Amino acid sequence: MSRVQHNFAASRFDIYSDGIVAASVHYRMNGAEMSFIYTEINDSLQTPPLVQSLIRGCLDNAHRHRLAVLPFCPTMCAYIKHHTQYTALVPLAQRERFYLPTTPRPPRQAHLTVVRPQ
């Protein structure tokens, strides 16, 4: 069982797997901006799904507290690029520096193939 815990004293979010810290995301606060600095991963554990859960937990926490996000951490930035629903957390004026879209993407169009009986 894994769980995300916000460690205020250390300015980081941790995810635990069987009581062991599997990964941590370190951040700094500046007013209402949360700058994610780097991600630390315990190499002895199989962590990709845990890291994704951790990053999602960090971003959901920032959203709940109405904080802007600055994803200096490459892992965090890559996650936001692939999960565009979190792009809105990055201030519009800051998105270009993180190579994030500055305009909303149009919704994906379904590609349908029409099959006609012969």
Q: What is the pLDDT of residue 18?
A: 85
Q: What is the pLDDT of residues 2-42, one digit of tens each?
A: 789 999 999 999 999 888 899 999 999 999 999 999 999 99
> Residue 83 CA to chain centroid, in angstroms?
8
Q: Residue 65 sits in which domain range? A: 2-98
Mean pLDDT of 53-72: 97
Six token digits for residue 1? 């069982």
Residue 59 lies in a domain: yes
At a CB cut-off of 8 Å and minimum separation 6, what does 41 contact? Answer: 22, 23, 47, 51
> Which tens digit of pLDDT belongs to each residue from 72-114?
999 999 999 999 999 999 999 999 999 999 876 665 666 666 6
Check which CATH number belongs to the domain holding 41 and give it: 3.40.630.30
Q: What is the count of structural domains for the chain?
A: 1
Q: Which of 8, 16, 72 is nearest to 42 (CA)?
A: 16
Give the pLDDT of residue 47: 74
Is residue 110, in this structure, part of any structural domain at all?
no
